[in-house]
Amino acid sequence: MMEFRQLITIGGLTVHYARAGQGQPLLFLHGMLGLVAFDSAFSFLAEKFDVIAPWAPGWGPAKDDLDRMDPGPLDLTLHHCDLLDALQLKRTHLAGTSVGAWMAAELAAIAPARVECLVLVNPLGLWLDDTPGEDPFAVHPGMPSEILFSAPGLRKKYILEGRDKVDAHVDELLALRASAKFLWPIPDTGISRRLHRIKAPTLVVTSALDRIVPAPYGPTWQAGIVGSQYMELVGTGHVPEMERPAVFATVVSQFILAQPQTRAS
C-alpha cells in the first residue's frame, strides 16, 4: 500500500503525499477519483523515477481545503509551485490524468521553468461543441463513477472491493464534488489560451474507450502545444492508471526517458 506522509506548505495547507523510487523526480497529479487504486501504477513508475504523488486540495485527506481554492487555475498552480519549493525541487517531470492532467498543463503553462517533461493522460479542460463527451456529474448517485470505467463492474472492483462500502461511496462522492468545482457545468477552463506557453516536451494520451474525453480531444490538445506528440491507448476508459497500470506507467516512462535532456542527465 502507498504510505502517505505530511508536509506543511508555505500556504499553510497540509499536503498528504506518497513518495518512492530513485532517480529523476516525477510529480504525478491525480484524476477525478484521487489516488484511489493508484498503488500498482505508483509502484511501476517508482522503478524508473523518484515519484511524488500528492492529494490535491479538496480530495481525500485534503477534502476540507477545497474552499481555499478558486475555481480557476491560479490557486492550484501556485499550490503546486509551493509544493515543489517545499520539496526543494527546481524542476520536475510531470504527469497527470483527467482533472490532474489539466492541473499539470496549467503548471507547465504558468510556470514553464518548473517542468522538464509533461505527460497529459485523458486531459480535461477543453471543450468541443461538436464532441462534448458524456457528463461525469449527470449520473446515477448510486454509481457515480461508473462512467469513468471501460466496462460495467470495474467501479466495484477498483472503488469498493476491500473497503467499507459506505465509506468508499462517501469518498467517491466527495472526490467528484472536488472535480465539479473546477469542471462543472462545462469543463472549459480557458486552458486553450495558455497551451502555447508550454515549453516542455509533451505527450498527450487519450483512451479509446473514454466516454468523458472522446478521441477528438487528443489531437486538439496536441495542436495547441507546439512540438507535442499524441497517442491513443486501447482497451481502457478514463482511468488507465487503474485499469491498465503497467501500460500507463510504461507509456509515461518511455516518453520521458526518450527525451534527449532526460537521457543525458
Predicted structure pTM score? 0.97
Taking a C-beta distance cutoff of 8 angstroms, is the pair 173, 144 a contact?
yes
DSSP code for 64: G
Domain boundaries, the chain: 4-264
Superfamily designation of domain 4-264 = Alpha/Beta hydrolase fold, catalytic domain (3.40.50.1820)
How would you write the pLDDT of the chain (265 residues) with one tens digit per residue? 677 877 877 788 999 999 999 999 999 999 999 999 999 999 999 999 999 999 999 999 999 999 999 999 999 999 999 999 999 999 999 999 999 999 999 999 999 999 999 999 999 999 999 999 999 999 999 999 999 999 999 999 999 999 999 999 999 999 999 999 999 999 999 999 999 999 999 999 999 999 999 999 999 999 999 999 999 999 999 999 999 999 999 999 999 999 987 654 5
As a whole number of angstroms, the distance between CA 240 and CA 248 comes to 6
Reduce the secondary structure of 136-178 to three states and give it as a string: CCCCCCCCCCHHHCCCCCHHHHHHHCCCCHHHHHHHHHHHHHH
- Which is it for strands 14-20 and 50-54: parallel, antiparallel or unpaired? antiparallel
Residue 73 in 3-state DSSP?
helix
Phi, psi of 23 (to 5 degrees): 105, -150
